[in-house]
Amino acid sequence: MSLSRRCEPGAPCCDGQRLAPTHLSHLTLAQVFDALSYYADRQTEIQQHSDRNQVPDDTVHPLARPDA
């Protein structure tokens, strides 16, 4: 893990990515670990679901893309 100056001062960061979005700050540490455990146990199933529900790039408005 490395700290980056691209994050707000005092914000938890790893490689320039904010670690704790403020809209999820109500979660307890136990809930976070529970979610990670759930994902670890069902990673293949979750990835398959994500792949099936992926929106094709040519149908996404250019301003809605993450690189916009």
pLDDT, tens digit, for every residue of 3-53? 444 566 666 666 666 565 666 778 888 998 999 999 999 999 999 999 998
Backbone phi and psi for residue 13, each to the nearest 5 degrees, phi listed first: -135, 155
Do 14 and 23 touch, CB atoms closer than 8 A? no
- Band of pLDDT at residue 65, cut at 50, 70 and 90: confident
Dist CA 35 CA 31 (whole Å): 6
